[in-house]
Structure 1
Amino acid sequence: MTIGGVVERREIEIFLTVGEELHFGRSAERLHVSVAMVSKTVQKLERSVGAALFERTSRRVAFTATGRRLFDDLKPAYQEVLDAFARAVASGRGVDGVLRVGFLGTATAQFVMRAAELLRTRHPGCEIRLHESRFADGTAPLHDDVIDVLLIDNFAVPVSTLAPGHSAGPMLFREAPMLAVSARHPLARRDAVEMTELARYEVLRPRAPSGQAEGTSAPGRAAGRPVPGQAARWAAPEGAERLFAPGQADSSFAPGRAPEGRGSGRSTEFGSIQEMWALVGGGHGVFPVPSHASVYDARPDVAFVPIKGAPAYEWRLIWLSAADNNRVRAFSEAACGYVAAHPDPLTATA
């Protein structure tokens, strides 16, 4: 490593060692190099400085005034550099420290807390801090260094669309999809709805991040196309997205809407989960949700209808590959361990 384009790290080590030993032979032995290399390195440094650093005789080695000043200035600074790297290595390789975990919704927050409790029994020095993400954020909180790892489903951020530089843990659990509709919606009286029917209704869509034009590149987006979770439509995997396309009319129960089956030409956006529930309850659209929502997000103005033929929600952890460390991996292992011990991890009480 060259410092300032002038001095190599090894040259600094040799200079500091000679300064401590004041003996070329002992310095060479300590550094496992030849005496000739020590002498050559000191001479090179003296040429760079433009002054002698040591007074050398056949009997003794002593600092010059310039050499002593350089040694006193350089030694603590060099030790700080070494300590900084040591702390970084300990942080990257160790598990102790803070891990920031993002989640969406109440049930997933409880799952993260239970996985965190299991992690703390294994690694008491690891602290988990929770961060509730907005549906429209996608992977942006990872890129913005708000969180270290994100629990997300394959509808909000399909693994197949993750841009290079992301890592994904194993699938943790699956949930059947349900359609959230207003309690006044005709579908609320149905036992189930076919996925192929949904193109007849207006499906709400996540709002792009503030100040962000659709289709532009930003954290959480792949270059040239929106990443699901920030996209202009709800994104279902395996080509199912076209069946949930927004811009279709909702049922005629909503004032000012086109008759059922005819396009309204617009789609209502939301930025947070609570906004989505308010819009659904108010009859401004429908939205597919995982089945746990019917328990954790039950409200009198919203009904939940099972969707037949739709792919399941699959939940997993994702993180930036560059931020991969033992804490992230330990939390992923704890999440997998909790799921293995609890077949229904979102409703388990312990």
Structure 2
Amino acid sequence: MVERREIEIFLTVGEELHFGRSAERLHVSVAMVSKTIRKLERSVGASLFERTSRRVAFTAIGRRLFEDLRPAHQEILDAFARAVASGRGLDGVLRVGFLGTVTAEFVLRAAELLRTRHPGCEVRLRESRFTDGTAPLRDDLIDVLLIDNFAAPVPGLAPGHSAGPVLFREAPVLAVSARHPLARREAVDVSELARYEMLRPRPPSEQAERTSAPGEAAEGSVAGQAPRWAAPRGAERLFPAGRAQSPSAPGGTPGGRGAGRNTEFSSVQEMWALVGAGHGVFPVPSHASVYDARPDVAFVPVEGAPAYEWRLIWLSSADNHRIRAFSEAARDYAAAHPDPLTGAAGAN
């Protein structure tokens, strides 16, 4: 009976046509390679290689055996690899959520890297809304979510959630109307922002109706904090909440529009429209100033504020090898690209 190791040695010698190089590839001695080939030749009843002090060449029988064995051996290896991948939970579909067009590009690049490593894993993308928080995970719409630390601060993750390492960081900028007084500033200090009206995502009606027992965090919220929808991507945790006192007050929006009320929005495009119209201001990651630029909105750097930190989160109960493999691919892609949102190559 021919053993698997003997087949591997024969095929390696057939590829290298050199006993020494074959031994190096297989991490065995040259004597072991020679002994194995002689054993196979005895089993076949004929020489498989012509050997001299200068060269090794196939005999006709040896070449035919090599050509018959190599594809069959590869099929066996492929079948075993598929079985291992399936057993480890790598084959199948992974649903990845993201916020915004630019972060979708990052997720796509990480998914491409994952597929090169694990071809049996299919990644499907789903865009999340500002107001969703971690609800798509809980509702089994996605398996893993790329989110920033203000939408889901890691120390305050709701029970049952797990988080990967920080993938990349961005400085915050304040989106304001191009006609807003802040639009002419080179920067604004975080301590000033209580004077300006802050937009906030509108809570979905079904989420607003949910209640929690005393001492428990509402579903979709951060434990010990207000519900997720009450803090626009963490704006009220990042910046002091504030509203204009009157149309003429420093915090008043141009023309007094929006003064004295906390304007809400349901989508990213609605948020940009409200900002552009002067109905409020809103903190965003710095990539927005490039990828979401529009003539009616200005972006002002915020000094003294912590950075946005992007990472993957998932339900602890749903943890599997696909999620871990994707997290590893995302980490490796980010480490190899100084600007992972644009795909600029290099090393951090």
Structure-1-length-normalised TM-score = 0.67
Q: Deviations over 1:318-346 (max 9, x none)?
A: 00000000000000000001011101101
Mapped to 1, the partners of 2:238 and 2:151 lie a distance apart of 15
Change over 3 Å in CA distance of 1:308–1:214 after alignment to 2: farther
Mapped to 1, the partners of 2:184 and 2:303 lie a distance apart of 15
Letter in 1 for 2:102: A
Letter in 2 for 1:253: P
Aligned to 1:127: 122
Is contact 2:199-2:262 (8 Å) kept? yes
Q: How does 1:207-226 map to 2 (within 5 A)?
A: 207-213=202-208, 216-217=211-212, 219-221=219-221, 226=226
Letter in 2 for 1:251: G
Structure 1: runs of 5+ lacking an equivalent: 1-88, 259-263
Q: Deviations over 1:186-229 (max 9, x none)?
A: 1111100011110000011122222332783454235785343x
SS of 1:299 mapped into structure 2: coil
Is contact 1:187-1:305 (8 Å) kept? yes
Query: 1:268 and 2:263 equivalent?
Result: yes
Aligned to 2:342: 347
Is contact 2:150-2:238 (8 Å) kept? no
Aligned to 1:148: 143
Aligned to 1:15: none
Aligned to 1:309: 304
Is contact 1:207-1:232 (8 Å) kept? no
Q: 2:291 aligns with which of 291, 296, 304?
A: 296
Aligned to 2:30: none
Query: 1:118 and 2:113 equivalent?
Result: yes
Is contact 2:333-2:340 (8 Å) kept? yes
Aligned to 1:22: none
Mapped to 2, the partners of 1:183 and 1:222 lie a distance apart of 33
Aligned to 2:325: 330
Letter in 2 for 1:306: P
Structure-2-length-normalised TM-score = 0.67
Q: How does 1:1-350 map to 2 (within 5 A)?
A: 93-213=88-208, 216-217=211-212, 219-221=219-221, 226-228=226-228, 230-232=229-231, 235=234, 241=237, 243-248=239-244, 250-258=251-259, 264=260, 266-348=261-343
Change over 3 Å in CA distance of 1:246–1:136 after alignment to 2: farther
Letter in 2 for 1:271: S
Is contact 1:234-1:245 (8 Å) kept? no
Shift of 1:137: 0.6
SS of 1:315 mapped into structure 2: strand
Mapped to 1, the partners of 2:148 and 2:210 lie a distance apart of 22
Q: Deviations over 1:96-144 (max 9, x none)?
A: 1110000001110000000000001001111111100001110000000
Is contact 1:136-1:271 (8 Å) kept? yes
Change over 3 Å in CA distance of 1:310–1:219 after alignment to 2: same
Change over 3 Å in CA distance of 1:233–1:102 after alignment to 2: closer
Shift of 1:93: 2.7
Letter in 2 for 1:138: G
Sequence identity percentage: 74
Mapped to 2, the partners of 1:252 and 1:108 lie a distance apart of 30
Shift of 1:313: 0.3
Shift of 1:92: 7.4
Mapped to 2, the partners of 1:225 and 1:309 lie a distance apart of 22
Q: Deviations over 1:144-201 (max 9, x none)?
A: 0110000000111111221110000001111000000011111111100011110000
Mapped to 1, the partners of 2:106 and 2:232 lie a distance apart of 27
Change over 3 Å in CA distance of 1:233–1:297 after alignment to 2: closer
Mapped to 2, the partners of 1:267 and 1:202 lie a distance apart of 7
Give the stretch that moved more between structures: 209-218 or 97-106.
209-218
Aligned to 1:58: none
Mapped to 1, the partners of 2:220 and 2:238 lie a distance apart of 22
Mapped to 1, the partners of 2:109 and 2:231 lie a distance apart of 33
Structure 2: runs of 5+ lacking an equivalent: 1-83, 213-217, 246-250
Number of aligned residue pairs: give it. Answer: 252
Letter in 2 for 1:314: E
Shift of 1:247: 3.5
Change over 3 Å in CA distance of 1:248–1:138 after alignment to 2: farther
